[in-house]
Structures are given as structure tokens and as C-alpha cells.
């Protein structure tokens, strides 16, 4: 089921892009004519990683500082947060969890601009937000989110493209379905040899690729019971380096952009320290161990990169004797306060 749903992501993205065109354009006009002193994201799990990606795009392209809201400030501490002139973006597959719904309702009641990128458009979260934008991933049966994560990334990029009114990013989004289909055909089988017997792994990214490192580490834990930690390439030498020993596996996402050279250099250094490096990089990087597919523009590369990862992750789970559709102790919808 996980593999089947991951492979369907291209069709889900095509469906999303075909719909709500004027609604996104209207939202873009609203954002361009509204002053924001604060921008926040509200999400958990894979959705929080998608929110991290959306935040990177907003900060890099729109110059607005974006923070991830600790939801307990609203749900448990009842803190008197200032809500005026605030943009609040929630991302969720189910739209059911109280700790995502309640902050959006709180900020909307306080006059903030609230947006929900949500798969279930009839959910409490969709009803709580001023702007509810459907992911159009369809019903997701597998506990491990795949197609809903990819459509969340696309919705976040779509929001930014309309806010910025950037034709290049919009054209890149239009080309994503075909790029995602190509991404499913990339051969990441060399990773299985390294990771099938592994007990732990570090997943490394930086900048626009760091949210994909976070998501990959979560999927390793969810579907393969593999202890995985995600680190920024800028942080790994500040302490995590002490864990490196002969044969220690590292998966490094070196997507295109200003962080790529540093990540390639990090991979080379880690090899000298005995690490078993899996450098995922585009085809023009000779040192790569795994080929990263690319999109029409580097800012969209993480979306096709995670598509290639998902196919490998589903196969890895099976190779480790597990069922990726039924992770231990987990359920599809998690409700926290």
C-alpha cells in the first residue's frame, strides 16, 4: 500500500494543479496586499516537515521570517499570544488533531490570516481556517504518509508562487507530475545493501533539502524500525560527529543550490572518517552513490527527491522483514492536545 500510494503521487499532484487555480490566485493577491509582522506554521510529523519546506520558500523568496509555533502555548499554556498582523499556515493530512485545529481557530478569532493546506477538506481544521486549500491526495490508507506529504510540499510551493507572482516557479510546478513519474524510476537499490543490516543512520541535508532529511529519518523509523536522526550539514560537526565510526551509515541529500558544494565536501570528509556514505546528488555529480532526480527549478528539487526516497524506503522495509503499511504502535490519525 505504501509503495502503491507513493507511486500515485504524480497523478495526485496533477489533480491538485488542475483545481483551485483561481482560489490560489485570489490567495496570492490577498497575501501581496496584507502586511504581516509575524508568520507561523502549525503542523505535526510529516506535515511539519512540509511546513518547514514552505517556510524556507517564504523566507528565501518573500523575505518574511517564519517560525514553527509550539502548539502547547495555545492548547495547554493558554498564553496570550498577539494575533494581529499574523500569517498562520497549518498543514495536515487528516485535519483532525486538536493541537493543530485549536491554534488556527485562536489566531483566526484574533484577526490573523489563517491558511490550512489539508487533505480532508471537510475536517475541523478546514472549517477553522479562513483559507482551506485541498491537497487532493485522495484517501491515504498506509499509515506512513507519502502522497499526502508530496502534495503538501506542492501546495506550499504553489502558495508561494502565487504570493510572489512568479511565472518561473508556476511553470516549474506545472512540470512536476512528469518529473515525479521519472523520479519513481530512479534506481536506489545500492542503498538497500547498506541499510538492510543497519541499526542506525544519520540523514543529512541543508537549506531547502533539510526538510527532506527530516522526513526521511522519520520514515526510516516508522517503516523500518531503523534508528535515524536528521541533521543539518552545518550542525553535524558540533557533536553528532562523535557517533561516526567505521561503517556508520550516512544518507546525504545534496540537492542543487548554494548548499550543495558543502554537502558534497562533507560526504568526502565523512568517508575519510570511516562512514558508509550514501551521497544522493544529481547526475552531474560524479561522487554520488545515489542519483537524485531534478525538477524544472532547484527550489522544487526536494519534491522529486523525496519521491525517489519513498520507493526505496518501501522496498527497504520489506527487505528488513517488516510491513511498511502497519508500523508498530502507530495509527493513521494521531490526535494530541
- Coil vs helix vs strand at 82: coil
| Cα(297)–Cα(168) distance, integer angstroms | 8
| Cα(26)–Cα(177) distance, integer angstroms | 24
Backbone angles phi, psi at 35, to 5 degrees: -90, 130
Q: Which three cell numbers stand for residue 264?
A: 558534497
Extract the runs of DSSP E, i.e. beta strands, from 98-159: 113-118, 131-134
Catalytic residue among 30, 237, 332, 335: 332
3-state helix, strand, coil in the chain (%, to 5): 50, 15, 35
CA 77-79-80 angle, to 5 degrees, is 160
Q: Which three cell numbers stand for residue 271?
A: 568517508
The separation between CA 319 and the C-alpha centre of its own chain, rounded to angstroms, equals 25
66 contacts: CB under 8 Å, gap ≥ 6: 39, 40, 41, 54, 55, 58, 59
262 contacts: CB under 8 Å, gap ≥ 6: 206, 233, 234
Write down the H helix ranges in 225-300. 260-272
Q: Is 332 a catalytic residue?
A: yes
Q: Among 224, 199, 207, 206, which residue's Cα sits nearest to residue 309?
A: 224
Please identify every residue annotated as catalytic. Answer: 332
Amino acid at each position: 500500500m505504501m509503495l502503491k500510494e507513493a507511486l500515485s503521487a504524480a497523478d495526485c499532484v496533477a489533480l491538485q494543479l488542475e483545481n483551485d487555480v483561481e482560489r490560489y490566485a485570489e490567495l496570492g493577491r490577498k497575501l501581496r496586499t496584507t502586511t504581516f509582522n509575524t508568520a507561523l506554521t502549525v503542523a505535526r510529523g510529516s506535515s511539519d516537515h512540509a511546513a518547514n519546506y514552505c517556510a524556507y520558500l517564504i523566507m528565501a523568496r518573500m523575505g518574511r521570517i517564519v517560525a514553527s509555533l509550539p502548539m502547547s502555548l495555545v492548547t495547554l499554556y493558554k498564553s496570550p499570544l498577539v494575533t494581529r498582523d499574523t500569517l498562520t499556515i497549518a498543514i495536515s493530512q487528516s485535519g483532525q488533531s486538536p493541537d493543530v485545529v485549536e491554534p488556527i481557530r485562536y489566531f483566526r478569532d484574533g484577526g490573523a490570516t489563517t491558511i490550512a493546506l489539508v487533505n480532508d477538506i471537510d475536517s475541523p481544521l478546514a472549517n477553522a481556517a479562513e483559507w482551506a486549500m485541498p491537497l487532493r491526495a485522495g484517501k491515504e490508507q498506509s499509515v506512513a504518509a507519502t502522497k499526502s506529504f508530496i502534495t503538501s510540499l506542492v501546495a506550499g510551493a504553489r502558495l508561494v508562487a502565487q504570493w510572489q507572482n512568479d511565472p518561473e516557479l508556476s511553470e516549474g510546478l506545472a512540470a512536476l507530475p512528469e518529473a515525479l513519474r521519472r523520479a519513481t524510476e530512479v534506481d536506489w537499490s545500492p542503498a538497500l545493501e547498506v541499510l538492510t543490516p543497519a541499526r542506525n543512520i544519520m540523514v543529512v541535508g541543508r537549506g531547502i533539502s533539510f526538510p527532506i532529511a527530516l522526513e526521511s529519518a522519520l520514515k526510516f523509523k516508522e517503516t523500518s524500525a531503523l534508528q535515524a536522526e536528521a541533521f543539518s550539514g552545518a550542525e553535524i560537526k558540533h557533536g553528532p560527529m562523535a557517533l561516526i565510526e567505521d561503517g556508520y551509515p550516512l544518507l546525504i541529500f545534496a540537492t542543487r543550490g548554494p548548499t550543495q558544494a558543502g554537502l558534497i565536501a562533507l560526504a568526502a570528509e565523512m568517508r575519510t572518517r570511516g562512514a558508509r556514505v550514501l551521497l544522493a546528488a544529481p547526475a552531474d555529480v560524479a561522487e554520488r552513490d545515489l542519483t537524485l532526480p531534478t525538477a524544472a527549478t532547484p527550489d522544487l528539487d526536494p519534491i522529486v527527491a523525496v519521491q525517489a526516497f519513498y520507493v526505496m524506503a518501501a522496498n527497504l522495509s520489506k527487505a528488513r522483514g517488516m510491513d511498511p503499511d502497519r508500523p508498530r504502535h502507530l495509527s493513521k490519525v494521531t490526535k494530541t492536545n
